[in-house]
Structure 1
Amino acid sequence: MDEKAKAKLRAKLQDRRAELDALLGRIRSNITRGLDRDSKERAKELEDSEVVDALGNDAVAERRLIAATLSRLEDDSYGVCQSCEDPIANERLAAYPYASLCVDCATDEEQQKKRA
């Protein structure tokens, strides 16, 4: 990957990380505001809190993927499968820029998880 493409991807990832940080900030703010005393409102807030927790977990997981991807960009291992060390197809990286495994290794990993 040339330096121009790396810089573009790095900026895109940093922008996404900033979006996730803002989302996580809003989630933290919602969690800390507390629950009202009214039981109907409390039930609705608890339900909403489960949705917020799920969103927060997804955001944290994506933020970790971004950090790992940025690290691979910095050490020039981006685009190289972490399992077999073959190049990851450009089409795969375009569709899923966080990819750390080639299609074959990712498929093998998924099959192993299903068997476990």
Structure 2
Amino acid sequence: MSHEQLKAELEQRLADMQARLNNIKRDVTKEHSGDSAEQAQERENDEVVDAIGNETRQSLRAIQVALDKIAEGTYGECEKCGENIGEGRLQAIPEAALCVNCAD
């Protein structure tokens, strides 16, 4: 898979994650029920949604970093050791910043 194909996949994942984050933000800002029992459940749900939102923001940052590296010409280089990240790893995780050895 070429860097252009990986770039297109990263751009699609970025758009998907941004849409997901917008949905999460919309869900978190909904008004809570007037019933105290329902409010307790809604607050627990809010915590889960917030955690998902944090994970989504981390994914967005990783994807954006990978896109920036493509633009800079450094995509596919391990941030830790400087070696090339294997093509199979990049196909599986296009936003990977570390080679398999450094990721362990």
Provide the TM-score with structure 2 as the length reference.
Answer: 0.89
Q: Point out which structure has higher relative CO (alpha carbons under 8 A, 6+ apart).
A: 2
Find the counterpart in structure 1 of residue 31 from structure 2: 34
| Structure 2 gaps, min length 5 | none
Q: Paired residue for 2:71, among 74, 83, 96?
A: 74
Find the counterpart in structure 1 of residue 92 from structure 2: 95
- Number of aligned residue pairs: 104
Matches within 5 A, 1:44-63: 44-63=41-60
User: How far off is 1:34 after superposition?
Assistant: 2.1
User: How far off is 1:67 after superposition?
Assistant: 0.4
Find the counterpart in structure 2 of residue 20 from structure 1: 17
Runs of 4+ in structure 1 off by over 6 angstroms are: none
- How much identity, in percent, do the aligned residues show? 39
Find the counterpart in structure 1 of residue 83 from structure 2: 86
Find the counterpart in structure 2 of residue 10 from structure 1: 7
Q: Could you say what the CA RMSD is over the residues aligned between the two structures, in angstroms?
A: 1.5
- 1:28-67 per-residue CA deviation (whole Å, 9 max, x = no partner) reads 1112122122012101211111111111011101000000
| Structure 1 gaps, min length 5 | 108-116
User: How far off is 1:27 after superposition?
Assistant: 1.2
Between 1:53-62 and 1:78-87, the stretch displaced more is 78-87
Taking the aligned partners of 1:106 and 1:9, their CA distance within structure 2 comes to 20
CA contact (8 A) 2:10 2:95 kept: no
SS of residue in 2 equivalent to 1:50 = helix
